[in-house]
Amino acid sequence: MVYLDNSATTKPWPEVLDAYYKVASDYFGNPSSLHHPGVEAETLLSKGRASVAQLLNVNAEEIVFTSGGTESNNTAIKGIAMEHQERGKHLITSSVEHPSVMQAFQALESFGFDVTYVDVDQEGRVSVEDVLHAVREDTILVSIIHVNSELGTINPVEDIAQALTAFPKLFFHTDHVQGAGHVPLNLQGVDLCTISAHKIHGLKGTGVLFVRRGTSLSPLFHGGSQEQQYRAGTENVPGITAMAKALRLSENERQQQNGRLEHLKQNLIHRLQDLEGAVVNTPQRGSAPHIVNVSFPGMKPEVLVQELTRNHIHVSTKSACSSKLQEPSAVLLAAGVGMERASSAIRASFSHDTKEREVDEFVRILQKAVSEMMLVMGEKK
């Protein structure tokens, strides 16, 4: 099997699974309980929080554990909007956000909030100037994705954060789900940041929301004082412990292997550019090392994906949250590449475990599948 859908989810590393099993079986107490098993669980929870904070270079009390990227994004966006709406109801985001961000903003519009969707260039990148131009007196939140989940394009989040310090009354959030473990991010100037465990070889159902000290949020969940009262509910201590280990291992791999992944990406892009009918959408420069998006105008991407998976090659069409919807990529449409490319794109995404021979096999099977599909299309004409 050649698994190249790591932007959708990654395979948990054995050390991560071992950590989860150990904590789930031996330290199963509720961390809010006062008895000894509860105190043991609370100690592990604190260690996990401190570990994540150290890796992100922030304070431990600024780490809020959630069920994943979707909850973290919704908590950040809706939490700021609801808490600070008396000061203003204008929000800013980009036109290429993940559905968990885009739909959160769309939901807020139905509650009377005014949202500006900043346009992007043909590489799917937001400009600092366009973000600043959108800021108004009543703006309370800006949310810009760090690494685009479909194209791999890296947004200038650090520059945006620095520029927005000129507006101390608004908050800045970034979705760092695709960047974590692949593209470093300095959180200076960032008020809220989202990370998901299962994108970094952790387990599904665990995530992080960094909330800068002094930032007030209206919680989505009520019913307990856990997580600094930002997120009620018994903490997933095994998942949190496993996520802390996954983040540490991913960061170690990033520092040692990112050059290798960048080589794999560039090699794949060059080979796709030579493939008949292919149009590469991922920019060669200024993109993450693990994502390559390519269109085959005139072909149905879901048919191509199914043909590949029959040959044990597994890729996707777009973000996993919307991949079952047979619609053009909203990200590619927003980038202005046209309906043909937006309706025919597939995405291959690597992990630190991806081997060069797997990429070779992908190209070989892809070339065969495309040739056969083009032959069928020619016969139908």
380 pLDDT higher than 80: no
* CA–CA dist 143, 169 (Å, integer): 15
Q: What is the pLDDT of residues 258-315, one digit of tens each?
A: 799 999 999 999 999 999 889 999 999 999 999 999 999 999 999 999 999 999 999 9
CB-based contact 368:304 (threshold 8 Å) = no
Query: In whole angstroms, what is the distance from residue 164 CA to residue 143 CA?
Result: 11
Residue 379 has pLDDT above 70, yes or no: no
Angle between helices 69-84 and 99-109 (to 10 degrees): 30
pLDDT, tens digit, 9 for 90 and up, residues 233-258: 888 999 999 999 999 999 999 998 87
Contact 180, 150 (CB under 8 A): no
Q: What is the mean pLDDT of residues 319-332?
A: 71
pLDDT of residue 321: 53
Give the CA-trace dihedral at 77, 83, 85, 89, to 10 degrees: -10
Q: Catalytic residue, from 275, 321, 333, 374: name it.
A: 321
pLDDT band at 225 (very low <50, low <70, confident <90, very high): confident
Closest of 263, 283, 243, 241 to residue 10, by C-alpha: 243
**What are the residue ranges of helices labelled H in the chain?**
14-26, 36-56, 69-84, 99-109, 128-134, 157-163, 237-273, 301-310, 330-334, 339-342, 356-380
Cβ distance 265 to 254 under 8 Å? no
* pLDDT score recorded for residue 337: 95
Structure confidence by residue, pLDDT tens digits, 34-63? 898 888 999 999 999 999 999 999 999 999
Distance, CA of 48 to CA of 40 (rounded, Å): 13
Which domains, ranges and CATH numbers included, belong to the chain?
2-8+257-380 (3.90.1150.10), 14-248 (3.40.640.10)
Instruction: Verify whether residue 321 is a known catalytic residue.
Output: yes
What b/e sequence results for 287-317 when a residue is b if at least 16 CB atoms lie within 10 Å of its CB, and e otherwise?
Answer: bbbbbbbbbbeebebeebbebbeeeebbbbb
The position carrying tokens 């016969």 is: 379
103 CB-contact burial (10 Å; exposed 0-12 / middle 13-18 / buried 19+) = middle
pLDDT of residue 381: 53
Q: State the chain's mean pLDDT as an integer.
A: 94
Query: Which residues, in sequence order, are bridge partners of residue 64?
Result: 209
Specify the range with the lowest mean pLDDT, choosing from 123-127, 153-157, 228-232, 328-332. 228-232
Write down the pLDDT at residue 323.
47
Nearest to 22 by CA among 34, 30, 14: 14
Q: Note whether 19 and 242 are within 8 A (CB).
A: yes
Secondary structure percentages of the chain, helix, strand, coil, to 5: 45, 15, 40
For residue 229, the model assigns a pLDDT of 82
- pTM strictly above 0.75: yes
Is the pLDDT at 377 greater than 80? The verdict is no
Q: What pLDDT is recorded for position 373?
A: 83
